Amino acid sequence: MTRDPHHSAASPADTLPAFPLDPAQHRALAEAKRATGDELGALAHLIAAHTLDAYASRAAEASVSNLCDVATGYFMKGDHVIAANWYQLVLTLDPDVAIACQNLAAIYAGAGRHAEANAYRERAYRIQRVFVEQAPSQVRRVLVLCAARASGNVPFDALLPGAVNCRIKYAIDYAADTEDTQLPPFDLVFNAIGEPDVAAPLAGRLDRFLSHLASHEARPLLNPPDGIERTARDRIPQLLGDLLDVQVARCIGVDSERFSSAASAASVAPIVPAALATLLADSALPLPVLVRPAATHGGEGLVLCDNLAALATTLHERQGRQYLTAFRDTRGADGYYRKYRMIFVDREPFPYHLAISRQWMVHYFSAEMEGHAWKLDEERRFLENPAAALGERALQAIAAIGRRLDLDYGGIDFTVLPDRQVFVFEANATMLAHYERSSGTLAHKNPFVQQIVDAFERLMTRRTAA
433: domain CATH number?
3.30.470.20
Strands 409-416 and 221-222: unpaired
Report the CATH number at residue 272.
3.30.1490.20
pLDDT in the model for residue 257: 67
Q: Which of 111, 127, 143 is the last residue of a domain?
A: 127
For residues 428 and 379, state if they share a domain.
Answer: yes
Query: In this predicted model, what pLDDT tens digit does every residue of 265-316 receive, in sequence order?
Result: 344 556 778 889 999 999 999 999 999 999 988 888 999 999 999 999 999 8
Tens digit of pLDDT for each residue in 341-368?
999 999 999 999 999 999 999 988 889 9
**What's the mean pLDDT in 400-424?**
97
373 and 435 in a single domain? The answer is yes
In a domain, 436, yes or no: yes
Edge-first strand listing for the sheet containing 289-293: 251-255, 321-326, 289-293, 303-305
What is the per-residue pLDDT across 144-188, written as a single tens digit (0 to 9) for each? 999 988 778 898 999 999 999 999 999 999 999 999 999 999 999
φ, ψ dihedrals at 16, nearest 5°: -65, 160
- In this structure, the answer to whether residues 175 and 140 fall within a common structural domain is yes
Does residue 78 share a domain with residue 39?
Answer: yes
CA gap 236, 327 in Å, rounded: 15
Q: Which residues of 6-29 are buried (b: 16+ CB within 10 A; e: fewer)?
A: eeeebbbeeeeeebbeebeebbeb
Residue 3: what pLDDT? 36
Residue 10 CA to its chain's centroid (Å)? 19
The domain containing residue 391 runs over which residues? 337-465
Question: 187 versus 77: which is more confidently predicted?
Answer: 187
Residues 44 and 155 in one domain: no
Classify residue 245: in a domain, yes or no: no
Burial zone of 143 (CB within 10 Å; 0-12 exposed, 13-18 middle, 19+ buried):
buried
Q: Is residue 347 part of a domain?
A: yes
Pick the closest to residue 253 from 290, 286, 227 (CA basis).
Answer: 290
Mean pLDDT of 403-409: 98
Distance CA 341, CA 355 (A): 9
d(CA 195, CA 78): 27
Number of Cβ within 10 Å of residue 418's Cβ equals 8
- 281 and 257 in one domain? yes
Domain boundary among the residues 326, 361, 378 is at 326
- Residue 262 scores a pLDDT above 80: no
- 6 pLDDT above the threshold of 50: no
Sign of CA pseudo-dihedral 356, 357, 358, 363: negative
If one compares 447 and 295, the residue with the highest pLDDT of the two is 447
- Residue 78 falls in which region: left (phi positive, over 0), alpha (psi -120 to 50) or beta: left
Q: pLDDT digit string (tens) for 30-56?
A: 999 999 999 999 999 999 999 999 999
The answer to whether residues 109 and 137 belong to one domain is: no
Q: Kindly write down the DSSP assignment for every residue of 394-428, as one continuous string.
A: HHHHHHHHHHHHT-SEEEEEEEE-TTS-EEEEEEE
Same domain flag for 20 and 104: yes
Q: What is the pLDDT of residue 5?
A: 39
339 has pLDDT over 70: yes
Peptide bond into 185 cis (omega under 30): no
Q: Tell me the average pLDDT across 66-82.
A: 93
Asked if residue 234 belongs to a domain, the reply is no
pLDDT, mean of residues 96-125: 91
In a domain, 288, yes or no: yes
Instruction: Calculate the CA 130 to chain-centre distance.
Output: 19
User: How many angstroms separate the CA atoms of 249 and 109, rounded?
Assistant: 32
Rounded CA separation 413/330 (Å): 13
39 belongs to a structural domain: yes
| Claim to verify: residue 110 and residue 208 sit in the same structural domain | no
- Could you give the 3-state DSSP secondary structure of residue 248? strand
Quick check: is 237 in a domain?
no
- Strand ranges of the sheet holding 409-416, from the earlier edge strand across to the other edge: 246-248, 422-428, 409-416, 337-345, 348-357
**What's the average model confidence in pLDDT over 226-248?**
97
Tell me if 326 sits within 8 A of 286, measured CB to CB.
yes
In the three-class reduction of DSSP (H, G, I as helix; E, B as strand; rest coil), residue 246 is classed as strand
The mean pLDDT of 322-328, rounded to a whole number, is 96
How does strand 337-345 pair with strand 303-305? Answer: unpaired
CB hemisphere CA count around 457 (13 angstroms): 15
* Phi, psi (deg, nearest 5) at residue 428: -165, -170
Same domain, 342 and 431: yes
Instruction: Give the burial class of 149: count Cβ atoms within 10 A of its Cβ; 0-12 exposed, 13-18 middle, 19 or more buried.
Output: middle
Sequence-distant (≥ 6) Cβ neighbours of residue 338 within 8 angstroms: 330, 332, 354, 355, 356, 362, 415, 416
What integer pLDDT is reported at residue 265 of this predicted model? Answer: 39
Same domain (yes/no): 92, 143: no
DSSP class of residue 271 equals B
pLDDT for the residue numbered 280: 95
CB < 8 Å & 24+ apart, contacts of 148-152: 148/121, 148/124, 148/173, 148/174, 149/121, 149/125, 149/173, 149/174, 150/195, 150/198, 150/295, 151/195, 151/198, 151/295, 151/297, 152/193, 152/194, 152/195, 152/197, 152/198, 152/199, 152/295, 152/430
Give domain status of residue 5, yes or no.
Answer: no
Query: What CATH number is given to the structural domain containing 108?
Result: 1.25.40.10
Element (H, E) at 102: helix 98-110
Confidence of residue 17 (pLDDT cuts 50, 70, 90): confident
Taking alpha carbons only, the member of 131, 107, 135 closest to residue 121 is: 107
Domain count, the chain: 4
Sign of the four-CA dihedral 424, 425, 429, 434:
negative
DSSP conformation class of 244: T
Percent of the chain with pLDDT over 90: 82
Q: Which of 229, 262, 277 is the last residue of a domain?
A: 229
Confidence of residue 263 (pLDDT cuts 50, 70, 90): very low
pLDDT of residue 14: 56
Those residues with Cβ within 8 angstroms of residue 115's Cβ, 6 or more apart along the chain or in another chain = none
Phi-psi region of 391 (alpha: psi -120 to 50; beta: other; left: phi over 0): left
Residues 267, 221 within the same domain:
no
**What average pLDDT does the chain have?**
92
Q: Measuring CA to CA, which residue among 295, 166, 147 is closest to residue 209?
A: 147
